[in-house]
Amino acid sequence: MKSIDVCLTPDLLHLHKIENSIVVVTDIFRATSCMTTAFAHGVRSIIPVATVEECYDLQKKGFVAAAERNAQKVEGFDLDNSPFSYMDDRLIGADIAMTTTNGTLSITKAKAEAVKVLVGAFLNLGAVANYLKSQQYDVLVLCAGWKGRVNLEDSLFAGALVEALQNDYLVGEDSALIAQRMYGQAKADLMGYVASSSHVRRLQRLGIQKDISFCLQHDLYDVVPVLRGNTLVAM
């Protein structure tokens, strides 16, 4: 039977064998929520890069460039890290280069070994779950966390995906159990559950409360971003 496992932060990725796994990277606030929103609104491709410098180089080559550090837009770039910025008709068909504090780094870390790297968020939870059910591989949910640390919202997404897949996959590892039980405890009021998390407090200080409620919505979009080479595209 296929198994599903959870890596609570990219700093623990070395503990996981992923040669036979599809890795689902999640960074709920806000990178993977933005990516999902972008593809749902017609963006053609997103190149996730680990550093601001790489992102700047791609901007010079003509990409629409999005760079975020510490939850704020880096000066000189075209787009910030709010999902609302990607609901823009001018971005239909666009090729974007993106770097964020945590999310894009996780994608670049996973791509060397995994069978496939997908982008997951609450916004496309059902679409990701349905795609995975059709595949024969194990699944690892890779939570982007915050600068190496575990966070609440990414762990909750991991738990939601474990719950969605529990009848089709073995759930054998404690990190997957922890995530699944957290989600079970939280799902009736996700917003209330994450209200005291460190990153929500960080985002609230920056005045982006509406991003938080947006990113916690389930199944708004039927799109599965997948990494092909170095580039994310809609499957």
For a second copy, the binding residues (CB under 8 A) are: 8-9, 11-12, 14-15, 146-152, 155, 172-175, 177-178, 181-182, 185, 196-199
Judged by CB, which is closer to a second copy: 9, or 21?
Answer: 9
Residue with structure tokens 């496992």? 5
Least separation in angstroms between residue 159's CB and a second copy is 11
Contacts of residue 84, Cβ cutoff 8 Å, sequence gap at least 6 = 210, 211, 214
Q: How many angstroms separate the most distant Cα atoms in the chain?
A: 49
Judged by CB, which is closer to a second copy: 50, or 170?
Answer: 170
Least separation in angstroms between residue 235's CB and a second copy is 31
Judged by CB, which is closer to a second copy: 122, or 183?
Answer: 183
Judged by CB, which is closer to a second copy: 159, or 225?
Answer: 159
Least separation in angstroms between residue 70's CB and a second copy is 16
Least separation in angstroms between residue 184's CB and a second copy is 8
**Beta-ladder partners of 95:** 45
Q: Which token pair is 223?
A: 């799109």
Alpha helix segments (H runs only) across 66-189: 103-110, 125-133, 152-165, 174-186
Least separation in angstroms between residue 127's CB and a second copy is 27
- Decide: 47 and 63 in contact? Cβ < 8 Å: yes
Judged by CB, which is closer to a second copy: 85, or 101?
Answer: 101
Q: How many CB atoms lie within 10 A of CB 22?
A: 24
Least separation in angstroms between residue 27's CB and a second copy is 14
Judged by CB, which is closer to a second copy: 201, or 218?
Answer: 201
Q: Which token pair is 175?
A: 């990190």
DSSP 159-221: HHHHHHHTTTSB--SHHHHHHHHHHHHHGGGHHHHHTTSHHHHHHHHTT-HHHHHHHT-SS--
Least separation in angstroms between residue 213's CB and a second copy is 19
Determine the length of the chain: 235
Residue with structure tokens 């922890």? 178
Judged by CB, which is closer to a second copy: 72, or 185?
Answer: 185
